[in-house]
A and B are shown apart, each in its own frame.
Chain A
Amino acid sequence: MFRRTTGQKVFAVFNTIGLVCLSFIFILPVWHVAMGSISDPLKVSASSGLILTPLGDATLGGYKLVLNNHNILTSYMNTIIYVVASTVLGLVLNILAAYVLSRKNLYFKSIIAFLVLFTMIFNGGLIPTFMVVRNLGMLDTRWAIIVPGALTAYNIILMRTSFSEIPEELYEAARIDGAGNFRILWQIVIPVSKAIIAVIVLFYAIQQWNAWFSASIYLVHQNRALYPLQLTLREIVLLSSENSIVAEADGQDVEIYRPLIKYATIMVSVIPMMVIYPFIQKYFVTGVMIGSVKG
């Protein structure tokens, strides 16, 4: 385009170097864990600082232990159940609410909109919500993890914004053909809104994949059979109870590979996300853009 001066060339070089360094900072913590998870366990416990290449002979012993452990496998399955169930529930309710709020000439629309929006700025708080979940008989069941928090006002607003951009003529044409709202939603709005639906599905799914808190308070009796992966991860890594969780595997292996358990468990929970995020990140960017138009 334009000729670059020496100053600009120097700037470009430093800028590139700076951005490359920054990229390394984003990656290195995960890389460290990945390399740690396949290192020689004795060397891992003795090491300090960053692990850039596997220490000693690479081993999959840590993964073998983690993947043979039924607590970890169960919580993996649980997380999948929770993600699918709460995403489906959230998405269905989200689509209904967004569709209603995107329609014009609705007498009670402002009341509905208010009831939705108000949940964004005020809530009952931790204990009153806990009491409601308790009174619904959901404590110590999967429902307590799936249902509360499955629907968020912010996502409704995002979807409503996107629905409102569908040309009104499409609705008019359908109405002339005698289609009711349910048919219009199913046959017209949903098929042309695949992009925003993908965005919302990902928002709900990733939120649930990474969630641990509701499970930690609603599973009052700490029934491990219902734990999601993140909660098991927390017990192993942060509360250092790898003994009680993993020890039932054969004892000797646990002793040898104990330093690797933390790293391997982290990797097992992070790998699926690392594999898919480059492909889905564009949907998140879309979501942010829609949100910025009408926050």
Chain B
Amino acid sequence: MKKDASQAVEIQVSRGKLIKRDLRRNWSLYVMALFPLAYFIIFNYVPMGGIVMAFQDFNIRKGIFGSEFVGLKNFIRYFNGPNFWRNLRNTLSISLYGLLFSFPFPIIFALCLNEVRNKYFKKVTQTISYLPYFISVVVVVSILNDFCKANGLLTQIAAFFGDNGGALISRPEWFQPLFIGSNIWQHLGYNSIIFISALAAIDPELYEAAVIDGAGRWKQTLYITLPGIASTIVVLLILRLGQIMNVGYEKIILMYGPSTYETADVISSYVYRVGIVDADYSFSTAINLFNSVVNFIVLFIGNAISRKISDTSLW
């Protein structure tokens, strides 16, 4: 190609000239990029600069430039305080149990749906399964509260099985099961989309060949279907593991209360409470930074593994 030849020559041209030519040719693209980049700089990168608050005794009157630096005091205060271990334990337990219980369901659902012959039934079931995804967290937690009040449905069911402790929503031992269970309910259908499409991509000739070889339905699932979606499963699992320290606060703070803090309070919800409710800005920022850094490291490791095992990676 002619282009390759001209590019080879360009390497000889100095970097300055290259940039000048690029700016002349692509100035309109850079003008376009200016707007979204300005947005990210203001709302993402300037806040990153604000992280220095974590190392200060931040005073909102003095501002970032006038506040006193205190080194790692805020971090030490958190690590030595009573909340650190509780937050860490709850964060890990919610995300690990969440992964353990919520990961298999979309796969099983996709496999079951894959066995359905009637196209119409399949379509309707699939559409219904997306319904909870479109409901807001506020509504999901509202309905959950209604089901878990003293005479609510789930409390009644628990009572039927011999649990007589009253409203489930205000009891610490029920918080995590309810949190994870409602997450499964909300995301099962949506999370199954990717597996359903992976299943649809399996070559039908493989099944025909297997039938000729005398393989039954079960053997077909074991030797064709599962290997066919194995790579999708592995990649998603690793990406999910990369999020292990990342439990969002939005649903937690709608659901929890002082009576359930013991099992409900995660790092991010504590960041919210300390920062927004108590207005202890530096302390909150320090805890947030600790969480972000750990997140970043875990994500990095997960991504490296993912790239090694398969071709899929975030970057």
Contacts and interface: CB of A to CB of B under 8 A. Distances in A.
Contacts of A128: 47-51, 53, 285
Contacts of A125: 47, 51, 271, 285, 288-289, 292
Interface stretch (B26-34, B82-90, B91-99, B170-178): B26-34
A22 B15 CA distance: 62
A132 interface: yes
B130 interface: yes
Contact of A132 (B28, B46, B276): B46
Nearest to A134: B60
Given A125-B271, A281-B127, A15 B36 contact: no
Interface in A5-55: 5, 7-8, 11-12, 15-16, 18-20, 22-23, 25-27, 29-30, 32-33, 36, 47-50
Contact of A19 (B44, B51, B113, B147): B113
Contact of B151 (A48, A206, A269): A48
Interface in A139-198: 147-151, 153, 156, 180-182, 185
Given A50-B153, A151-B36, A217-B276, A238 B138 contact: yes
A151 B40 contact: yes
Contacts of A148: 43
A154 B189 CA distance: 21
Interface stretch (A63-71, A80-88, A100-108, A248-256): A100-108
B103 interface: no
A112 B127 contact: no
B29 A103 contact: yes
Contacts of A48: 151-153, 156
Interface string A112-133: 1001110111111111111110
Contacts of A32: 143, 146, 153
B48 A130 contact: no
Contacts of B22: 105-108
A106 B36 contact: no
A91 to B, nearest CB: 11
Main secondary structure of the interface of A (DSSP, over half): helix
A277 B131 contact: yes
Contacts of A112: 33, 37
A231 B57 CA distance: 32
A126 B275 contact: yes
Interface size range on A against B:
35 or more
Contacts of B183: none
B81 to A, nearest CB: 18
Contacts, number: 257
Given A12-B117, A274-B131, A182 B28 contact: yes
B190 interface: yes
Contacts of A121: 295-296, 299, 314
Nearest to B315: A117
Nearest to B204: A1
A287 to B, nearest CB: 9
Contacts of A212: 136-138, 250
B139 A96 contact: no
A130 B276 contact: yes
A151 B37 CA distance: 10
Interface in A216-251: 217, 230, 233-234, 237-238
A107 B24 CA distance: 11
B4 interface: no
Nearest to A232: B138
A30 B134 contact: no
B302 to A, nearest CB: 11
B296 A122 contact: yes
Contact of B39 (A100, A151, A206): A151
A173 to B, nearest CB: 17
Given A127-B53, A206-B134, A238 B128 contact: no
A43 B172 CA distance: 30
Given A19-B125, A27-B128, A292-B194, 8 more contacts: A25-B185, A29-B132, A48-B153, A112-B37, A125-B271, A237-B138, A266-B143, A273-B134
Question: What 5 pairs across the A-B complex have the smallest Cβ distances?
Answer: A124-B47, A128-B50, A210-B136, A125-B288, A48-B151
19 contacts: A15-B116, A19-B125, A23-B124, A23-B129, A27-B128, A48-B156, A49-B151, A100-B32, A125-B51, A126-B271, A128-B285, A130-B275, A131-B50, A132-B43, A132-B50, A149-B43, A270-B139, A281-B127, A284-B193
Interface of A: 2, 5, 7-8, 11-12, 15-16, 18-20, 22-23, 25-27, 29-30, 32-33, 36, 47-50, 92-94, 96-97, 99-100, 103, 105-108, 112, 115-117, 119-132, 136, 147-151, 153, 156, 180-182, 185, 206, 209-213, 217, 230, 233-234, 237-238, 262, 266, 269-270, 273-274, 277-278, 281, 284-285, 288-289, 292, 295
